A and B are shown apart, each in its own frame.
Chain A
Amino acid sequence: MKLASLGALKALNLCASDRSYPHPPLPSLCAQDISHVSTKLGPSGFTLSPEEASGLEVAMIQRQMEEKMSSPLSFWGKLMGDEQDYLVAYALAPAFGFPTKKFYFCTTSNFTLKQMPELSEEYAGKAAAVTGRFKGDPSFPLEEPPEESPDDEEGTTESFREIHRLSYTVGLIDHDVSIVPVGSFIADAAKQIIKNKSFEGLSYGAAGALRSYVHFRKAESPIAIASVEKPGLSRPGDIFDSITDDKPAGAWSVNYSSSNTSSYLRSMYWPGYFFFQTVGKPEYGGVYFGNGIPNKDLAFGL
């Protein structure tokens, strides 16, 4: 998944096996996904500057060690704001059925990863109503602060700020565009989604076809849900929502790189989401470099 294909996937497998092994192996350092940025993301046109890459690498290792995470942190993307940019990383946490994603963020002026806040329904509704670009300041207030918040010593009355919008937007983007190749994840006999260790990558033909990619999220379409729930083994292609069903048709574009040795996908609805898959190798990952605003005019652009 994502850039840390190898590391994070390994980690996901650990999560699934945590139930049987009382002592999971020590977390492995997962800084190599940052180096993927400079080697695998060429066709996307975007990269992290040396400052961002090194700052984030250190921050990720630090956060991972401090929280004794069982799964390594992986780079998720960069969300660009007017004054600063946000760098976002995530970790997969074990959960029944489908692993949950924990998101962490930092800004390009302060490389300290912090966990994103959980959103209440009220805040999610407010966040959905905000339009325009991001500012780049997590504490930037997006509504008038409550009147009875005096400047007392506590001073930190909870109010709706950009950090909440960031959390909402990252969740939304991840839900819409986080994808994996068919067969890279399977449902085991206990109906847990686990990484397929014997996945060997997609063939040349399959890598260039949209139907070879599925949404990496808890199944939502009735067919996928039924396939996960039915007794017995499920076909790997059936347990996820296919991206070919995404509306409008043309929301995804799939291409081979100029050398034809890998293929890449772009989301046209979330400009800036980029996914690569090396032909014939279990190497794949996706990343988002954008301003957090969907292309709602897509219907006029196709």
Chain B
Amino acid sequence: MSFEEAKQILQMEDNGSTLYDHLASVLLKVITEKPSDAVTSFENLSVGCKEEKVTLPPAPEDSSAATGPVLDWASSTAALFVKPDEAPDGVPAPDLMKDATLYKWAGVSFGDTETYMLNLSLKKFCESLDGGYEAVKFWGKIITRDGDYFVCYGKTPEDPEEMDATKMEGKDGANKYTYFVTKSPSAPWVALPNVTMAQIVTAGKIRRLLTGDLEAAVPSFPPFPGVEKNLLRAMIAQITADTAIAPSGTFEADEDGANIIPAANEDGAPEPKTCEELLEAGNWQHYELRINTLGRCTALPEPEDAEDYEPPEGDGPAGLLESCGDEGEGYTTGWSFRPCPGGQGMTSTSCAKGVSLDWPGAYAVGGGNDFVNIYVGNGLKYAESTYTPPLPSAIIGEWSVPEEEADAEVEPGTFPIEAKDVTTDPTPPAEEGEEDE
């Protein structure tokens, strides 16, 4: 540390004066008054100097750097707490405070106050929402490089207009739900666009972290067809399809065997499973449509004009209400189930927590007739090994003699023979005299 730096520290402003000035005035006092006990009474000399100069603390500065953003946040958040005069119509909001208790057993929490603000935010959003959404549910949070996206969803009321059924699915497939995101409880919720097959397939081949800007470009190989909001939507589609699980028996297929509906017996609700039963992976079921390798939940529509139509490989529904106990290659199951509370605290009414091993951050908690699914993570699937980008597609073959010519001149099985070199100029330059004219 140099002398100048040390001096700078002494000259730091404190309550309107600096230590440097104070020491200078104390020393000046010693030199002018020449006390014999300067060391013994040093404190008194210092106090004496301070008494001579009474100062009021300076008024706080009007605009510190933090005031603006904090005040903006406080004003917009305070608006969430205002109760409207008339209860507006709207869509039923999720009871986030009740679910948060279950999230906590999974080890997920957004903080007590933040959760409550999120609850208010969802409620307000639902009041403003119409267009046939049945109910809104909370999905989780995706961590990005700049802020996080809170995600909620509602059942898509209608198929998107001008939908090409061979490129994307409507409300019976991957676009069954419309997802909404916000970066803060006090910010508005924004609807994500519908997802296409190509987006789901490409999202599975790349490992990009989100930037926190919905409109940001997604530079990747293979090229991603869309911007960040499309990638986010595709990530959500894959995570939902893989990690939405419920105690088996909660859902059943409808009469067509194509859709999943909540199961109901004569008493209305299915028999709840005990905690010990829920520790078995076989007693859990996927209750959302799975996504096949083509990025679809349902089979491709058959073209009307083609007579002998062969569906591409991997086409067809990827499974309905599969049990969690059946899946996973290389290990027994993609889930780990634990009681919570366990150990000495375990009772017959304990919840069971399902931890997804494939999607770090995806949890399911079930107990009694309640169950929740929650995801908190960066949207990347667990990978056994280091990522290798896919190779570019094969180089296009060199030009060769078209088949009919080859058949005419060359016998099958032999290579075309190279023609003789052209030794004369095929386009001789015109004579000079002609050009001048």
Residues on A close to B: CB < 8 A?
A: 38-39, 41-43, 45-52, 78, 80, 82-84, 108-109, 131-133, 203-205, 232-235, 250, 253, 255-256, 258-261, 266, 268, 271, 279-280, 289-291, 293, 295-298, 300-302
Contact = CB atoms under 8 A, between A and B. Distances in A.
Interface residues of B, number: 61
B143 A266 contact: yes
Contacts of A78: 107
B119 interface: no
Interface in B44-66: 64-66
B343 A109 contact: yes
A-B pairs with lowest CB-CB distance, top 10: A42-B111, A204-B66, A47-B109, A45-B376, A258-B184, A297-B387, A301-B209, A233-B1, A260-B69, A51-B341
B378 A300 contact: no
A279 B385 contact: no
Contacts of A39: 111-112
Nearest to B69: A260
Nearest to A266: B143
Contacts of A234: 1
A105 B109 CA distance: 23
B389 A300 contact: yes
Contact of A297 (B65, B105, B383): B383
A253 B383 CA distance: 22
Nearest to B333: A82
Given A50-B341, A258-B185, A42 B70 contact: no
Nearest to A279: B66
B114 A258 contact: yes
A18 B111 CA distance: 38
22 contacts: A42-B112, A43-B148, A45-B143, A46-B108, A46-B376, A51-B342, A51-B343, A84-B338, A109-B343, A131-B384, A131-B385, A132-B384, A204-B64, A234-B1, A255-B146, A259-B70, A260-B69, A266-B143, A271-B378, A300-B206, A301-B209, A301-B380
A250 B108 contact: no
A52 B1 CA distance: 47
B265 interface: no
A45 B66 contact: no
Interface of B: 1, 5-6, 64-66, 69-70, 73-74, 77, 104-114, 141, 143-148, 183-186, 206-209, 220, 331, 336, 338, 340-343, 345, 355, 357, 360-361, 376-378, 380, 382-387, 389
Contacts of A80: 355, 360
Nearest to A39: B111
Contacts of A301: 207-209, 380
Identify the interface centre among A48, A204, A205, A279: most chain B CB within 10 Å of its CB: A204
A291 B148 contact: no
Contacts of B70: 259-261
Nearest to A297: B387
A250 B389 CA distance: 20
Contacts of A82: 331, 336, 357
A256 B107 contact: no
A289 B108 CA distance: 10
B384 A297 contact: no
B340 A49 contact: yes
A261 B186 CA distance: 15
Nearest to B184: A258
A258 B186 contact: yes
Nearest to A238: B1
Contacts of B114: 42-43, 258
Contacts of B105: 49-51
A43 B331 CA distance: 33
A134 to B, nearest CB: 11
